A = this chain, B = another copy of it.
Amino acid sequence: MAQNSSDNAVPTLADVAQRAKVSTATVSRCLNNPDQVVGDTRERVMKAVQELGYAPNFNARALAARQSNTVGAVIPTMENAVFARGLQAFQEELVRHGKTLLVASSAYDEKLEDEQVRALVARGADALLLIGYDRSPELYEFLAKRQVPTLISWSYAEDDDKPAIGFDNRYAMAELARVVLSHGHRRIACISAPTASNDRARGRVQGIRDALAEAGIDPASLNVIETPYGIENGETGFRQAMAADPDTTAVMCVNDVLAIGALRAAREMGLSVPGDVSVTGFDDIEIALLAEPALTTVHVPHREMGRRAAGLIIQMMRNGEAEKPVRLPTDIRLRQSLSSRR
C-alpha cells in the first residue's frame, strides 16, 4: 500500500523512480554518482526527488553499501573543554570530506568505553578515534578482526606502533617539572586523575618523577593524590596534599581543571598563590588564562590535533590501515601561579 505515491508515507527510492519513470538503480546512481547518468534523465530524477521531498534512508544505504561514511569517536566526557574543542575541529574537518561524526562518551570508565566502541562498530562506523592507549587487548583484537581503522589521540608512545596522533605526556610534564624545580621547589605534590586506565595521567605523573630523579630527589617521595575529574575534586585534592605535607611549596596538577580547584582551595585556606604555594596545570584551556592568578600550564594544540586526526583517519580509511604515529609539540606557558622559592 505504501507503493502509492499519493499516500502520505515517507517517500522511498522506489517512489522517486516511479515518478521519474526510471529504475531505482538509476535514481541511486543519480544520487551517488551523478556523472554516470545523462543530464536529461538526471534532471527528471532530481525533479522527482524535490517534489517528493525524498531523503535517502541512511540505514538502508549503509546496509547495502557496506559502509556508512561515518567516523566514530569515544571521548571520556563532553564536559571537558579539551575534548570538546578537539572534537569540534575533528568534526569540521571530517565534514569537509563528506564524513559524519558519531560521538559517544565513556565517563572515564573503561568498561563503558568498551561498550561504546562496540556500539559504534555495530552502527557501522568506518573508522574510530579513541583517546589514549589504555584499553583491553580483547578490544584491540575485536577492532583488528573487524578491520576497523582506529586512530589513537591525545597520546603518543614511541614504543607502540598503533596509529596515533598526540603528544608525549610524560615528556611534556617532565619539562614543566624541571621548570618548577628550577624555581627552587623541592617539596612537590601532585594531584592526578585516576591513573589506573589512563595512560595520559600516568605519563604525566611519571614525567614529574623523571624530573625529580634527574634532580637527585627520590621520585618515590612525590606525594600523589588521585581523584576524579572536576573542580571540586581539585579542591579536595589540594587540601589533602597540604594536610599530608604542610611544607609543600608546589602543587602540580595533571590538568587545568584540577589546578583551578587547587587555586580555589588555596584561596579558601588563606594561602597565597604563588606567595605561599605555586600551582601548575596541564592543557591550557581558556580558564587557565582567566584564573587569578593565571595558571602556569602546558599548552596542548587541541584544535590542531583534532584537525590533523581527521586527515589521518581519512587516509587510513583509504589506504586500508598503517600510518606512523604522529607526535605533536607542546610548550610551557609560564604565568603567575608559579614563582620562585627561596
Asked if A96 is at the interface of the complex by the 8 Å CB criterion, the answer is no
B55 touches A63 (CB 8 A): no
Beta-carbon contacts of A31-64 to B below 8 Å, as 1s and 0s? Answer: 0000000000000000000000101111110110
| Total copies of this chain within the assembly | 2
Chain A contact residue count (CB 8 A cutoff):
42
* A121 neighbours in B (Cβ, 8 Å): 55
Choose from B88, B100, B124, B287 the contact partner of A287 (Cβ within 8 Å).
B287
Asked if A78 is at the interface of the complex by the 8 Å CB criterion, the answer is yes
Choose from B62, B84, B100 the contact partner of A84 (Cβ within 8 Å).
B84
B63 touches A59 (CB 8 A): yes
Choose from B88, B100, B292 the contact partner of A119 (Cβ within 8 Å).
B100
* A84 neighbours in B (Cβ, 8 Å): 78-79, 81, 84
B260 touches A290 (CB 8 A): yes
Asked if A319 is at the interface of the complex by the 8 Å CB criterion, the answer is no
Choose from B118, B124, B145 the contact partner of A8 (Cβ within 8 Å).
B145
Instruction: Identify the closest chain B residue to A85 (Cβ).
Output: B79
Tell me the residues in window 112-132 of chain A with beta carbons closer than 8 Å to chain B beta carbons: 118-119, 121-124
* A231 neighbours in B (Cβ, 8 Å): 286
Q: Min CB distance, A31 to chain B, in Å?
A: 12
Q: Min CB distance, A255 to chain B, in Å?
A: 14
A122 touches B58 (CB 8 A): yes
Tell me the residues in window 3-17 of chain A with beta carbons closer than 8 Å to chain B beta carbons: 8, 10
A77 touches B88 (CB 8 A): yes
Beta-carbon contacts of A65-89 to B below 8 Å, as 1s and 0s? Answer: 0001000000001110100110110
Asked if A146 is at the interface of the complex by the 8 Å CB criterion, the answer is yes
Cα–Cα distance between A77 and B142 once the two chains are bound (Å): 33
Central interface residue in A59, A77, A100, by most chain B CB within 10 Å: A59
B105 touches A102 (CB 8 A): no
Choose from B63, B78, B146, B290 the contact partner of A88 (Cβ within 8 Å).
B78
A59 touches B55 (CB 8 A): no
Q: Min CB distance, A124 to chain B, in Å?
A: 5
Asked if A291 is at the interface of the complex by the 8 Å CB criterion, the answer is yes
Q: Min CB distance, A10 to chain B, in Å?
A: 6
Asked if A222 is at the interface of the complex by the 8 Å CB criterion, the answer is no
Asked if A264 is at the interface of the complex by the 8 Å CB criterion, the answer is yes
Q: Min CB distance, A53 to chain B, in Å?
A: 7
Among all A-B residue pairs, the 8 with the closest Cβ atoms: A292-B292, A59-B59, A59-B62, A58-B123, A78-B84, A58-B122, A59-B63, A55-B122
Q: Can you give 29 A-B contacts (C-beta < 8 A)?
A: A10-B146, A53-B142, A53-B145, A55-B121, A56-B122, A58-B59, A58-B122, A58-B123, A59-B60, A59-B62, A59-B68, A59-B123, A59-B124, A63-B63, A78-B84, A78-B87, A78-B88, A79-B81, A79-B84, A79-B85, A79-B88, A81-B81, A84-B84, A100-B119, A103-B103, A264-B290, A287-B287, A290-B290, A292-B292
Interface residues of A (CB under 8 A from B): 8, 10, 53, 55-60, 62-63, 68, 77-79, 81, 84-85, 87-88, 91, 100, 102-103, 105, 118-119, 121-124, 142, 145-146, 231, 260, 264, 286-287, 290-292
